[in-house]
């Protein structure tokens, strides 16, 4: 079944479907999908929601995660992933691409592109990965105003407010900001770069909201499992850049093999086969749809016109 048909027109809006998912028993496991093919593979694995990371998308375009990515680029990939998979997609909206009016436009553009939620963060530009040093934050009042603007602009899109304050203002500062963002209308809260199980537990006890944890690799957060995050009191966990990291390492190995051996034969066992690719993207469903609507027909026999 492809996204070109009308079978999904009666589905609830994406934001409502995501909120339903994070309200169900058990933690919602959300892998990063940096393109539509990755999203389809995640769907095959059984995941019920996806995350589009600004860091992963920027890297896939050869850009640093410093707020360089454009809104049009973000919407292009949001649309591709959301329509191909049909899964609720949380989109990393960075700082909202500017001030209050920019945030409102970001919300509407992402909603129209099929997003289920947008994540907004309280950094200043140029923003940085939440696990790096020297992040600069806007005031809590300014961020709360952005959250309120996002809520005012949305129709069904869920607003996830991220705070990077733990590193510079301590856990108490991050909790105070989170409560303020929740009061401004945020549907869920994302505390970035917490560094211990105790911090996660304390944050969950202090903030009355659905909480999202970030289990990125090579960062400041220890390697906790989804079950551990659930025990801390979190409703969602993302692995935002994992698919890109694995893909990049595999492509690096392929190119090294091609350079050394002049052949990809040694890599065949690590490749998705043609048949597996066609199954993932629904190749034959597209063929069947095409044949059912625009069947090929032979031209008329000109002899019959004589």
The pLDDT assigned to 108 comes to 98
The pLDDT assigned to 306 comes to 52
Mean pLDDT of all residues in 286-304: 69
What are the tens digits of pLDDT across the range 168-185? 999 999 999 999 999 999
Domain residue limits, the chain: 14-241
Distance CA 149, CA 107 (A): 9
Distance CA 55, CA 67 (A): 9
Distance CA 21, CA 236 (A): 9
Count the residues in the chain.
306
CB distance 190 to 166 below 8 Å: no
What is the reported pTM?
0.91
CB neighbours of 181 closer than 8 A, spacing ≥ 6? 122, 140, 143, 144, 147, 161, 163, 189
Environment class of residue 205 by beta-carbon count within 10 Å: exposed (0-12), middle (13-18) or buried (19+)?
A: exposed
Furthest CA-CA distance within the chain: 91
CA 123 and chain centroid, separation: 19
What are the tens digits of pLDDT across the range 75-121? 999 999 999 999 999 999 999 999 999 999 999 999 999 999 999 99
The pLDDT assigned to 294 comes to 66
CB neighbours of 182 closer than 8 A, spacing ≥ 6? 161, 189, 207, 208, 209
Q: Which residues pair with 51 in a beta bridge?
A: 32, 90
Structure tokens at 159: 């607003």
Q: Is the pLDDT of residue 219 over 70?
A: yes
SS3 of residue 261 by DSSP: helix
Helix axes 36-45, 274-281, angle to 10 degrees: 90
Distance CA 58, CA 61 (A): 5
Q: What is the fold of 14-241?
A: TIM Barrel (3.20.20)
pLDDT band for 136, please (50, 70, 90 cuts): confident
Structure tokens at 78: 């949001």
Bridge-based pairing of strands 28-31 and 89-92 is unpaired
What are the tens digits of pLDDT across the range 13-41? 999 999 999 999 999 999 999 999 999 99
């Amino acid at each position: 079944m492809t996204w070109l048909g009308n079978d999904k027109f009666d589905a609830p809006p994406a934001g409502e479907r995501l909120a339903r998912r994070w309200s169900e028993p058990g933690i919602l496991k959300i892998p990063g999908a940096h393109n539509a093919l990755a999203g389809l593979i995640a769907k095959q694995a059984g995941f019920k929601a996806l995350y589009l990371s600004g860091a992963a998308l920027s890297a896939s375009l050869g850009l640093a995660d410093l707020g360089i990515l454009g809104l049009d680029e973000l919407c292009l990939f949001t649309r591709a992933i959301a329509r191909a998979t049909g899964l609720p997609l949380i989109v990393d909206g960075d700082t909202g691409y500017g001030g209050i009016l920019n945030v409102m436009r970001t919300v509407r553009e992402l909603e129209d592109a099929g997003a289920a939620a947008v994540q907004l963060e309280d950094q200043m530009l140029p923003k940085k990965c939440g696990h790096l040093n020297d992040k600069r934050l806007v005031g809590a009042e300014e961020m709360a105003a952005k959250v309120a603007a996002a809520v005012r602009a949305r129709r069904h899109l869920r607003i996830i407010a991220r705070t990077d304050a733990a590193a510079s203002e301590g856990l108490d500062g991050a909790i105070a900001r989170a409560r303020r963002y929740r009061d401004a209308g945020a549907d869920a809260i994302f505390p970035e770069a917490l560094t211990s199980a105790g911090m996660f537990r304390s944050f969950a006890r202090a903030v009355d909201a659905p909480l999202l944890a970030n289990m990125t690799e090579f960062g400041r957060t220890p390697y906790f499992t989804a079950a551990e995050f659930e025990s801390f009191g979190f409703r969602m966990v993302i692995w935002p850049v994992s698919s890109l990291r694995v893909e990049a390492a595999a492509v690096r190995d392929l190119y090294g093999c091609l350079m050394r051996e002049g052949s990809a034969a040694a890599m065949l066992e690590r490749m998705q086969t043609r048949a597996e690719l066609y199954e993932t993207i629904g190749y034959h469903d597209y063929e069947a749809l095409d044949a059912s609507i625009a069947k090929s027909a032979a031209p008329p026999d000109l002899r019959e016109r004589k």
